[in-house]
C-alpha cells in the first residue's frame, strides 16, 4: 500500500488500489467516488500537460477548482506512456492494481500497446473500466465524445426546456457525472463477481449516452406502446399536477410537486382553496393535467401576495410539498445542509482551504472522508513509484531525465 501520511482514516474500500488514467470529468468522477470511500486512487497524468481538468473552468489564482474537487483524495503521478519505458512503468503499476479507469477514445490504449487484454495477461484479476462517448463498438464508437453530445443524443436536451423554446442543455457535466455513477457501481459489481463468486477481472464498457438515456424513464416504452414522443413541458410534469416553479411576492422562487392525490389536496389547503378538491377541473390528477394552466394561475395569484418565507411557513404547517429554489450561496447558509455536514472545509496548500461537497451517502460504521483536495501534478511520484513499485533512486532519476515521469 502507498503511505501518503494524509490520514489514518479508512473507508469501506480501504485496501482497494485503483489506477485512474483518464482525463476530465467522467473517469475523474468515478475515481473521486471510489477515493471518497477509502480506495487508493493513483491518478496518472502526462508530465507536461497533466489532466486537462486542471485548466478547465473557474481558476483561483491559476489553480483549477474543478481539479481540486474531482482530484480530491487521490495520489497524482506523472507518466508519458508514448514510449517503451513509459509503457513498462504503466504495466508495472497496473499489475499491482485492482481496477483501471480510462476514458480515452476507443482504440487509444490499443494504439499505445496497452490493450486491456494484454494488461490482464499480467493481472487476470484486473477490472478495466472504459468510458467513452458512444461505447467501444458500434458505428459511432470512433467519434469524439463529450457530455454535451450525449446530453443531445440521449433525449435529455429534447425533453429539457420549454415547449416554445429550443432544447436546453444542462449547465454542468451531467452526462459525464451520470455515466460515472453507473460506472462506479459497475466496478463494484465486477469486484463482487471477482471476490465473492470466484470470477476474475473483466472489462466494463460504459458510454456517455446510454446512462443518461437510462434515467429518463419509460420513454421507449411510451413510444412503443402509445406511439407518443414526450415533448418539453418547462417546469411542469407530464405525469402530475400541480408541479411547477412559482415566483413569490418578493421576487424569489419556490417549487411545488404534488404527485399523489393527498399531496395535491394539501397544496389546495395551503393556498386556502380546499374547495378545489371538489372542483371537477381539479378533482383528480388527470383533470388537473388537462386544466393545468388554470391551476397554475390560481396558485401563482396566491404566491403573488406573499413572500417566500411566508409561503414556506404556510406549506410547512399544512404538510404540503414545497422547496425554495436555492443558489449555492443559499445552500452554504442553510441550516439543514449545515446540520447534515453536507459541506466540508478542507485545508489545502494551494488554496489555503477549500469548501467542497462532503462524501455521500453516509455510512454508519465505515464512512468516507475528504482527506485532501486535488494534489499537485506528480506530487506522489516517489510514494507510488518508489514505495509501491519499489523503484530505486537511480531508476527514478533515469525516468525523470528521460522525461518519462
Instruction: Show which residues are catalytic.
Output: 176
3 state DSSP class of 181: helix
Instruction: Name beta bridge partners: 381.
Output: none
Are the C-beta atoms of residues 150 and 173 closer than 8 Å to each other? no
Task: Measure the CA angle with vertex 303, ends 300 and 305; round to 5°.
Answer: 120
Phi, psi of 290 (to 5 degrees): -70, -25
In terms of C-beta density within 10 A (0-12 exposed, 13-18 middle, 19 or more buried), how is residue 115 classed? middle
Are the C-beta atoms of residues 366 and 349 closer than 8 Å to each other? no
Q: What is the DSSP letter of 319?
A: T
Distances (CA, A) of 193 to 14, 174, 202, 207, 265: 18, 29, 10, 22, 48
> How far apart, in whole angstroms, are the C-alpha atoms of residue 3 and residue 350?
22
Residues 6+ apart with CB under 8 A from 51: 23, 24, 28, 43, 45, 67, 71
Within a 10 A sphere around the Cβ of 184, how many other Cβ atoms?
Answer: 21
Q: Which helix (H) or strand (E) holds 353?
A: strand 352-357
**Which residue has 470470477 as its cell numbers?**
199
Q: Would you give the distance in Å from CA 327 to the centre of its chain?
A: 19
Amino acid at each position: 500500500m502507498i503511505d501518503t501520511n494524509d490520514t489514518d482514516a479508512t473507508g469501506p474500500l480501504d485496501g482497494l488500489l485503483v489506477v485512474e488514467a483518464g482525463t476530465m470529468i467522467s473517469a475523474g468522477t468515478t475515481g473521486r467516488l471510489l477515493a471518497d470511500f477509502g480506495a487508493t486512487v493513483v491518478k496518472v497524468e502526462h508530465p507536461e500537460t497533466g489532466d486537462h481538468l486542471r485548466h478547465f473552468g473557474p481558476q483561483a489564482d491559476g489553480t483549477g477548482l474543478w481539479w481540486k474537487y474531482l482530484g480530491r483524495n487521490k495520489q497524482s503521478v506523472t507518466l508519458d506512456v508514448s514510449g517503451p519505458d513509459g509503457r513498462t512503468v504503466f504495466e508495472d503499476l497496473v499489475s499491482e492494481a485492482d481496477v483501471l479507469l480510462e476514458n480515452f477514445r476507443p482504440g487509444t490504449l490499443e494504439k499505445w500497446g496497452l490493450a486491456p487484454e494484454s494488461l490482464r495477461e499480467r493481472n487476470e484479476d484486473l477490472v478495466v473500466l472504459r468510458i467513452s462517448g458512444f461505447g467501444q463498438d458500434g458505428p459511432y464508437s470512433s467519434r469524439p465524445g463529450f457530455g454535451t453530445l450525449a446530453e443531445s443524443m440521449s433525449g435529455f436536451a429534447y425533453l429539457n426546456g420549454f415547449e416554445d423554446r429550443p432544447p436546453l442543455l444542462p449547465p454542468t457535466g451531467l452526462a459525464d457525472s451520470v455515466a460515472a455513477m453507473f460506472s462506479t457501481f459497475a466496478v463494484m459489481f465486477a469486484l463482487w463477481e471477482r471476490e465473492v463468486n470466484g470470477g476474475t477481472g473483466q472489462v466494463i464498457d460504459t458510454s456517455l449516452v446510454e446512462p443518461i438515456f437510462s434515467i429518463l424513464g419509460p420513454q421507449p416504452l411510451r413510444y412503443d406502446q402509445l406511439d407518443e414522443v414526450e415533448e418539453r413541458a418547462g417546469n411542469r410534469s407530464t405525469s402530475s399536477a400541480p408541479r411547477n416553479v412559482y415566483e413569490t411576492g418578493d421576487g424569489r422562487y419556490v417549487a411545488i410537486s404534488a404527485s399523489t392525490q393527498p399531496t395535491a389536496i394539501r397544496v389546495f389547503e395551503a393556498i386556502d382553496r380546499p374547495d378545489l378538491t371538489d372542483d371537477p377541473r381539479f378533482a383528480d390528477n388527470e383533470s388537473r393535467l388537462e386544466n393545468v394552466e388554470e391551476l397554475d394561475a390560481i396558485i401563482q395569484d396566491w404566491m403573488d401576495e406573499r413572500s417566500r418565507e411566508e409561503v414556506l411557513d404556510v406549506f410547512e404547517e399544512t404538510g404540503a410539498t414545497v422547496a425554495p429554489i436555492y443558489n449555492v450561496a443559499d445552500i452554504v447558509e442553510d441550516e439543514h445542509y449545515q446540520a447534515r455536514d453536507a459541506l466540508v472545509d478542507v485545508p489545502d496548500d494551494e488554496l489555503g482551504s477549500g469548501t467542497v461537497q462532503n462524501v455521500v451517502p453516509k455510512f454508519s460504521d465505515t464512512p468516507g472522508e475528504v482527506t485532501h483536495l486535488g494534489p499537485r501534478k506528480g506530487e506522489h511520484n516517489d510514494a507510488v513509484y518508489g514505495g509501491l513499485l519499489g523503484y530505486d533512486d537511480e531508476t527514478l532519476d533515469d525516468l525523470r531525465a528521460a522525461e518519462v515521469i
